[in-house]
Amino acid sequence: MIEADVAVVGGGPAGIAAATVAAESGARVVLLDEGATLGGQIWRRDVLAAPKGSAAAWLDRLAASGAEVLSGWSVFDAEPRRLVGFRGIVRFHQVVIATGARERFLPFPGWTLPGVTGLGGLQAMVKSGCDVSDRRIVVGGSGPLAIAVAASLAERGAHVALVAEQASWVQIRPFLFAILREPRKFMQGLDYALALHPGVVRFGTWVVGAEGRDRVEAVRVTDGRRTWRERCDLLAVGYGLVPQTELAALLGCRVEEAVWVDREQRTTASGVFAAGEPTGIGGVECALIEGQIAGLAAVGREVDHLETERFRGLRFKDVLKTAFELRNELRHVPRPETIVCRCEDVRLVDLEPFVDRRTAKLVTRCGMGPCQGRVCGDSLEFLKKWGPNEVRPPLMPTSVGDLAR
C-alpha cells in the first residue's frame, strides 16, 4: 500500500506538470504511469535520442521535485481515495487524472491488414525501435498530428508518398490563423512543412480502402471526384484524438465527451482533478498549463496567475474541434463486410439490426473483446452516433490472480 497526499495518474505533460508543482510545494506526491518511461505519447522517449527542449526541462524539474514516480503502473480500478493497479494499491487525498488521449480509428475496407497502423501509433512504434527507413508510407486521417507524424517519418528516412487530410483547406483556415498567433506552434508547423516534399499533403482527401494479401501493399484514396491507388509498405491513419475519460467516469466525474472541470481543473467529484487531454483535446502547451493548475489547486495553492494562459488553451481547443471536424462521407467508407470490432471480428452488417450499443454488444459481442470497445466504441460514436461505452472495472484485461489480490 502506497500513501500519498496527491496521486497523479498519467505521466505525459499534464501529469508531469501536476506532480512537479504539487511536490514542489511540499506535498507527498506519487505519479503513476503505465509506460516503461515517462513522457506519455507526445513526449514518448525515443530509444535512439535523449529528451530535448521543454520535455527535458520538465523531466529534470520533476526529478528534483521529490515526487515519487512509479513507471509501468497501470490502474484498473478506482474508488474514492483509492486506486487499484496490477502492482498494488495507492491511497490518496487528492487525485489528478491526466490519462491523455487515444486515437480515433474509423474502419475502412482492409484496415485490419498488418501494416495499417494509427498515426500516433506508427510514431510510437518508431520511437520504440521500429525502422521505417526506405519504407513507402501513406499517412491519412485528420488533425495536426498527421503532418507532424509525416514529418517525423520523413526525418527517419521514410518515403512519405502522400498525406491525405480529410478536412478541406477552407475548413482548416481558422486553425491556420490560430497557429499564426502562437509563435512556437507556428515555427513547429513550418518545420514539419519543410520536412515534406511539396505537393505531398492533400486536403479534402481521405482513405477508402487498403489492399494486400497478409500485409498492406496499397491504399485507395479519394478527393470526392477522383479515386486513385498509392502503393505503400505502411499506412498510418488516425481521425483525431479522443479524451481518455474512463478513470474519471469510474471515479464519478461528470463526463460529456470530455471530463468537465472548473477554473481550478476540479471535476464534479470531490478530491478529483483532471488536466490535459481528458478535459478536451488541446495539445501539449495546454496540457502543461492545466497540469500546473491542477497540481497547485490539489495542494490548495492559488492558480490566478495561470488563468490567462488557461483561457488561451481553451480557445485553441475550440478551434481544433471545428477545423478538423470529420466529413460525413467517412460514414460511408466501410462496406457491409468491413470489420468494425477487431477484437471479436464483428462486421458492419452484423450491427445493422441494432439501434443502440448495448443490444448490439449483447447479441454480437461488439466491444466485448480485450480492448473493451475503445477502438470500435469511438468509431461507432461517429459512424452510428451511438452513445459512449459504459465504464466499469476492470479498466483493462486483468488476470483473476490480480483481481484476487
Partner 1 sequence: MADMLTVRVNGVVMCVPPGFTVLAALDRAGTRTCRTSVTGEPRGALCGMGICQECRVTIDGRSHERSCMTLCQDGMEIVTGD
Contact code string over 322-341 relative to partner 1, x by CB under 8 A = -----------------x--
Q: What is the DSSP track for 80-146?
A: TTEEEETTEEEEEEEEEE---EEE-----TTTTSTTEE-HHHHHHHHHTT---TT-EEEEEEESHHH
Q: Binding to partner 1 by residue 302, rule CB under 8 A?
A: no
C-alpha cell at 356: 443502440
- Nearest Cα to 107, choosing from 327, 322, 332? 332
Q: Look up residue 384 and give its DSSP letter.
A: T
- Nearest Cα to 344, choosing from 378, 367, 320? 367
- The interface with partner 1 within residues 239-268 (CB under 8 A) comprises none
Q: How far is the CB of 189 from partner 1 (least distance, A)?
A: 23
Based on CB atoms, which residue is closest to partner 1, 245 or 292?
Answer: 245
Q: Binding to partner 1 by residue 176, rule CB under 8 A?
A: no
Cβ neighbours of residue 366 closer than 8 Å, sequence gap 6 or more = 340, 341, 344, 346, 350, 351, 357, 360, 373, 376, 380
With H, G, I as helix, E, B as strand and everything else as coil, classify residue 208.
Answer: strand
Q: Look up residue 353 and give its DSSP letter.
A: T
What is d(CA 378, CA 385) in angstroms, rounded to the nearest whole number?
Answer: 10
- The interface with partner 1 within residues 104-133 (CB under 8 A) comprises 105, 112-118, 120-125, 128-131
Based on CB atoms, which residue is closest to partner 1, 184 or 215?
Answer: 215
Among 80, 353, 387, 397, binds partner 1 (CB under 8 A): 397
Q: Binding to partner 1 by residue 35, rule CB under 8 A?
A: yes
**Selected range binding partner 1 among 32-40, 199-207, 249-257, 386-394, rule: CB under 8 A:** 32-40
Q: How far is the CB of 70 from partner 1 (least distance, A)?
A: 15
Q: How far is the CB of 339 from partner 1 (least distance, A)?
A: 8
Q: Binding to partner 1 by residue 380, rule CB under 8 A?
A: no
Q: How far is the CB of 285 from partner 1 (least distance, A)?
A: 21
**Selected range binding partner 1 among 61-69, 99-107, 157-165, 285-293, rule: CB under 8 A:** 99-107
What is d(CA 16, CA 118) in angstroms, rounded to the nearest whole number?
Answer: 25
Based on CB atoms, which residue is closest to partner 1, 128 or 268?
Answer: 128
Cβ neighbours of residue 253 closer than 8 Å, sequence gap 6 or more = 97, 245, 259, 260, 267, 268, 269, 272, 274
Among 14, 343, 360, 366, binds partner 1 (CB under 8 A): 343
Distances (CA, A) of 352 to 40, 50, 338, 374, 384: 37, 49, 12, 20, 10
- Nearest Cα to 275, choosing from 263, 290, 260? 290
- The interface with partner 1 within residues 348-367 (CB under 8 A) comprises none
Q: Binding to partner 1 by residue 214, rule CB under 8 A?
A: yes
Among 8, 30, 83, 102, binds partner 1 (CB under 8 A): 102
Q: Binding to partner 1 by residue 370, rule CB under 8 A?
A: yes
Based on CB atoms, which residue is closest to partner 1, 85 or 118?
Answer: 118
Alpha helices, DSSP H, located in 196-337: 246-250, 284-298, 307-323
- Please count the residues of this chain forming the interface with partner 1, following the rule CB under 8 A: 39
What is d(CA 186, CA 27) in angstroms, rounded to the nearest whole number?
Answer: 37
Q: Binding to partner 1 by residue 375, rule CB under 8 A?
A: yes
What is d(CA 396, CA 182) in angstroms, rounded to the nearest whole number?
Answer: 38
Contact code string over 135-164 relative to partner 1, x by CB under 8 A = ------------------------------
Pairing of strands 2-9, 29-32: parallel
C-alpha cell at 204: 479534402
Q: Binding to partner 1 by residue 345, rule CB under 8 A?
A: yes
Q: How far is the CB of 87 from partner 1 (least distance, A)?
A: 14
Among 215, 231, 254, 331, binds partner 1 (CB under 8 A): 215
The residue ranges that bind partner 1 (CB under 8 A) are: 34-36, 41, 45, 47, 102-103, 105, 112-118, 120-125, 128-131, 214-215, 339, 342-345, 369-371, 374-375, 397
